[in-house]
Amino acid sequence: MRHFPLFMDLRGRRVLVLGTGKVAHRKAEPLARAGAVVEMADRFDAGQLAGCALAIGADAAETELVALFEAARAAGIPVNTVDRPALCSFITPAIIDRDPITIAVSSGGAAPVLARLLRAKIEALIPPAYGRLATLADSFKAEIRRRLPDMGLRRRVLERLLGGRAADLVFAGREDAARAEFARALESDEPARGMVALVGAGPGAADLLTIRAQRLLGEADVIVHDRLVTPEVLDMARRDAERIYVGKARANHCMAQEDINALLVRLAREGRKVVRLKGGDPFVFGRGGEEAEALAEAGVDVEVVPGVTAALACAAQAGIPLTHRDVARSVTFVTGHTKQGRLDMDFAPLVRSKTTLAVYMGIVSLPQLRDGLLAHGLPAGTPAALIERGGTPRQRELRGSLDELVDQAAAWSTRGPTLVLIGDAVGRGVGWSRTVPAMALVGQAFRPAVA
Ligand code: SAH
């Protein structure tokens, strides 16, 4: 280790920053945030160093920077000059600020860019609410010491709280419940209570998970998932987490909804951290509402984590705007699911309004959908698209008028989850995928045609 890391208390201490440009301000900002009295100057004068805790050389003239370095070193004041290792007695790390938690990353000056990239990764991993969790723990510190004098027991209780439900509650913005959890843990030594997170897995690509979903997957004891959840997403879960498949292909339910609800309740009551992972968003045609109700009724804590729903993922990757100033002023999510073979849909308002229709589970009932819409006055030539496995590298699209799609759908489908988009906006947008296979588009979707 070339440099020794430490955290310095700068409250009320003077820090000299040499330079008044952009770089100097960038350096001054976190110092001021830490409570330092920052003084900035363009020229160096030895008197300025008196009483300083630190000195920083930023965007000042070379002779000034050298003079600062030499004077500071002679006076025993730590000094750092931006991008000039030879003029430094200390280096500044990349900082992840989750006050009061602070994480500092350094490459020892070897590759500051790498340290910054690493910082971005850690930023993504540590929820902003970590600071609030630390503050909450701090507010219980004295009481915890008093009630749990045994250090081993204290550590176990704290680990359980901070790595478990209390943390989840803080991250979900429910600080009051988290406080109650702390209080309860101090009152009794009852075992940890489980919790269920209904988590949106997005359309199937692992990098379309939310950061919150990814964190919960990394912490789960058990993951209950269904057919829409792809192996790539499941790979993001903790290696030793138990995985339970509860299926659910159309008309071929692998487990009845009531049994899934009961399973979730039982797992939570065993004190486990359960992630109920559902394709897309859990509250969009996923029966997540019923699961949340059943859990709440059983007195189990539930957290709902949104996911990228199929309509958004399909449209984005196909380059289809869901709303468009001129032609579509709303988006409507509907289900094409039939009851006893009948499509129960109120067509008139759908046709009347300038809307883009996103039909989930609609490929089987497509002829009925077309008939209903046309009978209520939708022009037969209205643009439409079928999008299969949307939002993944295997996305496929079929575009045409609604009429054309009905004829071609069966032959075209490869039985993957398929969304139907209908409306004038479907004919707009960038539509690259018509000529370029979806795979080739990954990563270049938003590159402008002319640089
Ligand atoms: N909760 C899910 C929807 C569940 S209903 C969500 O928010 O996306 C299941 C239907 O969603 C499928 O029949 C299909 O119409 C649609 N769907 C889900 N994932 C899809 C995907 N990757 N591509 C296209 N359609 C998808």
> For the segment 26-78, what is each residue's pLDDT rounded down to a tens digit?
999 999 999 999 999 999 998 999 999 999 999 999 999 999 999 999 999 99
The DSSP symbol for 109 reads T
Q: What values do phi and psi take at 224, rounded to 5?
A: -105, 115
With a 6 A CB cut-off, is 383 part of the ligand 1 pocket? no
Q: Is 226 a catalytic residue?
A: yes
With a 6 A CB cut-off, is 280 part of the ligand 1 pocket? yes
Tell me how far the alpha carbon of residue 124 lies from the centroid of ligand 1, in angstroms. Answer: 27
Instruction: Find the Cα–Cα–Cα–Cα dihedral 102, 106, 109, 110, rounded to 10°.
Output: -160
Q: What values do phi and psi take at 102, rounded to 5?
A: -130, 130
β-bridge pairing 14-18 and 52-57: parallel
Cα 92 to Cα 122, 222, 259: the distances in Å are 17, 41, 56
Fold (topology level) of 311-448: 3.30.950
Given strand 37-41, what is the order of strands in its sheet?
37-41, 14-18, 52-57, 79-81
Task: Label residue 389 left, alpha or beta by phi (over 0 means left) and psi (-120 to 50 means alpha).
Answer: left
Residue 123: closest CA among 99, 97, 100 = 97
Nearest atom of ligand 1 to the alpha carbon of 362: 15
Instruction: Find the Cα–Cα–Cα–Cα dihedral 385, 206, 247, 334, rounded to 10°.
Output: -30
Residues 384 and 422: beta-carbon distance below 8 Å: yes
How many other CB atoms sit within 10 Å of the CB of residue 407? 13
Query: For residues 397 and 388, what is the distance between their CA atoms, to the nearest angstrom?
Result: 6
Tell me how far the alpha carbon of residue 199 lies from the centroid of ligand 1, in angstroms. Answer: 15
> For the segment 230-257, what is each residue's pLDDT rounded down to a tens digit?
999 999 998 889 999 998 555 555 789 9
How many other CB atoms sit within 10 Å of the CB of residue 416? 16
Tokens 């009152």 — which residue?
187
Cα 384 to Cα 11, 277, 326, 328, 414: the distances in Å are 62, 30, 17, 13, 18
How many other CB atoms sit within 10 Å of the CB of residue 384? 26
Query: For residues 312 and 442, what is the distance between their CA atoms, to the nearest angstrom?
Result: 16
Residue 119: closest CA among 102, 100, 96, 98 = 96
Query: For residues 190 and 185, what is the distance between their CA atoms, to the nearest angstrom?
Result: 8
Tell me how far the alpha carbon of residue 284 lies from the centroid of ligand 1, in angstroms. Answer: 9
Residues 197 and 216: beta-carbon distance below 8 Å: yes
Residue 221: closest CA among 257, 267, 261, 266 = 267
Residues 358 and 332: beta-carbon distance below 8 Å: yes
Q: Is 278 a catalytic residue?
A: no
User: What's the length of the chain?
Assistant: 451
Tokens 């009347």 — which residue?
352
CATH superfamily of this structure's domain 14-92: NAD(P)-binding Rossmann-like Domain (3.40.50.720)
Q: Which two tokens stand for residue 120?
A: 């971005």
The domains of the chain are located at 14-92, 127-192, 193-308, 311-448
311-448 matches 193-308 in CATH topology: no
Q: What values do phi and psi take at 340, rounded to 5?
A: 50, 45
Q: Which two tokens stand for residue 59?
A: 């965007």
Query: For residues 317 and 17, what is the distance between their CA atoms, to the nearest angstrom?
Result: 48
With a 6 A CB cut-off, is 387 part of the ligand 1 pocket? yes
With a 6 A CB cut-off, is 284 part of the ligand 1 pocket? yes
How is 148-173 classified by DSSP, letter by letter? Answer: ---HHHHHHHHHHHHTSHHHHHHHTT
Angle separating helix axes 151-162 and 130-139, nearest 10 degrees: 150
User: Which segments of the chain have a pLDDT < 50?
Assistant: 432-451
Tell me how far the alpha carbon of residue 417 lies from the centroid of ligand 1, in angstroms. Answer: 6
Q: Which two tokens stand for residue 106?
A: 């350094």
**The pTM is what?**
0.70
Residues 40 and 19: beta-carbon distance below 8 Å: yes
Nearest atom of ligand 1 to the alpha carbon of 336: 15
Residues 381 and 374: beta-carbon distance below 8 Å: no
Residue 427's contacts (CB-CB under 8 Å, 6 or more residues apart) are 383
pLDDT at 446: 38
Q: Which CATH class is domain 193-308?
A: alpha beta
With a 6 A CB cut-off, is 281 part of the ligand 1 pocket? yes
Residue 378 CA neighbour count, 13 Å, CB half: 27
Q: Which residue has its alpha carbon closest to ligand 1 atom 24?
A: 418
Nearest atom of ligand 1 to the alpha carbon of 282: 1
